[in-house]
Every structure is written in structure tokens, then in C-alpha cells.
Amino acid sequence: MVFAAHRIGSVPKHNNPHMDHDANLNSFPQGFRALVIGASGGIGAAFVDCLENNPRCAQVLGLHRHSLPAVDFDTEASMAEAAAQLASGARFHLIVHAAGVLHTPQYMPEKKLSDLNYAQLMDTFRTNTFGPALVLRHFTPLLDSQRGVMAVLSAKVGSIGDNRLGGWYSYRASKAALNMLVKTASIEVKRSNPAAVLVAMHPGTVHSRLSQPFRGSGIARSAADAATDMLRVLDRLTPADTGQFLAYNGAQLPW
């Protein structure tokens, strides 16, 4: 994946007339802190934009492969080191993990069993499953104990119950495994942080590098709209909702 340089730190407030930031986020405290992992991707950058324009949000931090500190899913230690650096500061009220991969210049989603190969399976799981698993390990302790929400972006095609078309083997499987990780982590985290909310979220079809070869005319939405919709859903969640698999419109998806 290609990442643009983006230093970690407090993102300055600015007004963007092209974006509609109407996710009030009133369930979060005034002056809340947010962290976006995968902040240089299309949806991750849109989350940063939405949050930096929200008057309740005092600080937005963005992490990716070229931020300082860096988060690189090919380097396990980078996640531990980034979390350790942030642990010395105040806790986060909202953490969004927005990184993922569907295709690369080397491969496209597998349409049939004969397309399966070890290299593609490993690359897809490294980014969509193994990396987020370590994000859960290292970053859930950074959630605020009074109001702490963590959303990990998944995909509806990762639903086993909703799989009607087949294909996209490694992507589907990596997201299904990710959903299990989020569900399992939500049970453990609840024991030490009863107020925490961990959810897997489907952003819908979004204009991005990930979806570019697959979207049909008029189907995909802008990343800004997707981020705003998901923030509206996250704003409504309570600890009773932890461990769910949700769509951008708030609908609960089948596992």
C-alpha cells in the first residue's frame, strides 16, 4: 500500500467547505482525544478531517507507515513502540483503525479456488488480520476508562452468513478472522474497562484506492460521507453494544 507522509501530533483545526461534518459526537466529552491508525489512506484521512473539524474534539493523532512514531504491519515492533510512546500521554476517547488491503499491483482478489496462492494469502492476512490483531493488543489499553470507543474497519463481505456470491477468498477470510478477533477482544477488554466499546464496522462502498477497480457508477460514496456516517453510529454506541459487527448506517450485520 502507498502511504503519504503525515506526522503524528495535534492536527490544527481548519474549515473545509467541501465536507459536511454533522456528526455531533455529543456522547464524547468536550475536548475529547482521538487516534486514527491508517490515517493516510482514503477513509483514514477522511476520519482525521471529520474529527479535526468537530468542535468537541481537542486533538486528533494520525498514525501510518511514515508517521512519527510509525506503524508498519510488516514490522511488529513498530506497533508496540508507537503505543508505548502514546501511553505516557492522556488516554483516547476514540480510536479508529482504518487500514486494509483488497488488491495490490501484484494481485487482484481471487475469483476461484485455482487462483489461491500462499503469497497473496499471507499478504492479505498480514494487513487485514495480523496487523489489526496487534493493534488490538497494544492500543486497547490506551482507551479512556470513562468513554472509550474503538472501531476496526471490516467489510460486509467478511460476513459468513451473508456470503452469497463466493470469490474474494483471502479478503473475505481475512475480514471474517478480523471480526472474530474484535469480538474476542471485546470480551476481554470489558473485564478491565467496563465502559469500553469495541466494534467491527463496514464502511460501505467508498471511493478509494481499495475499491477503485470494482465500484459501479453511482454506487460508491465519498470517503468523507463514509467517515461521517460511521462517526454518527459510533456516537450512539454504549458499552452494551461492544463486540458488534455494524454497517455504516448502524445496521447489525450477521457474522
What digits encode the pLDDT tens for the residues 100-140?
A: 889 888 899 999 999 999 999 999 999 999 999 999 999 99
Question: Is residue 83, in this structure, part of any structural domain at all?
Answer: yes
The arithmetic mean of pLDDT across residues 227-242, rounded, is: 97
To the nearest 10°, report the CA torsion of 151, 153, 158, 159.
40
Question: Is residue 239, in this structure, part of any structural domain at all?
Answer: yes
Question: Is residue 139, in this structure, part of any structural domain at all?
Answer: yes
Residue of 196, 191, 197, 218 whose CA lies nearest to 207: 218
Q: Does residue 57 surpass a pLDDT of 80?
A: yes
What distance separates the 2 farthest-apart alpha carbons in the chain? 54
Q: Does residue 176 surpass a pLDDT of 60?
A: yes
CATH code, 67: 3.40.50.720
Which tens digits make up the pLDDT trace of 4-47?
Answer: 333 334 333 434 333 344 679 999 999 999 999 999 999 999 99
Question: Is residue 21, in this structure, part of any structural domain at all?
Answer: no
Which strands sit side by side in the sheet containing 32-37, from one edge to the other?
57-63, 32-37, 94-97, 148-153, 196-202, 245-247
Which residue's C-alpha cell is 469495541?
A: 198
34 three-state secondary structure: strand
Three cell numbers written together for 131: 496487523
pTM over the 0.85 mark: yes
The arithmetic mean of pLDDT across residues 46-63, rounded, is: 96
Question: Is residue 22, in this structure, part of any structural domain at all?
Answer: no
Q: How large a percentage of the chain has pLDDT more than 70? A: 87
Question: Is residue 121, in this structure, part of any structural domain at all?
Answer: yes
The predicted structure's pLDDT at residue 198:
98
Q: Which residues pair with 153 in a beta bridge?
A: 201
Q: Which residues pair with 246 in a beta bridge?
A: 201, 252
The predicted structure's pLDDT at residue 8:
38
The predicted structure's pLDDT at residue 101:
86
- Tell me which residue range forms the domain holding 236: 32-247
The predicted structure's pLDDT at residue 23:
78
Neighbour tally for 7: CB within 10 Å: 10
Question: Is residue 12, in this structure, part of any structural domain at all?
Answer: no
From start to end of the chain, where are the E strands? 32-37, 57-63, 94-97, 148-153, 196-202, 245-247
Question: Is residue 211, in this structure, part of any structural domain at all?
Answer: yes
Report how many domains make up the chain: 1
Residue of 69, 18, 67 whose CA lies nearest to 46: 18
Distances (CA, A) of 29 to 58, 93, 216: 10, 8, 39
The predicted structure's pLDDT at residue 207:
77
What is the residue-averaged pLDDT of the chain?
88
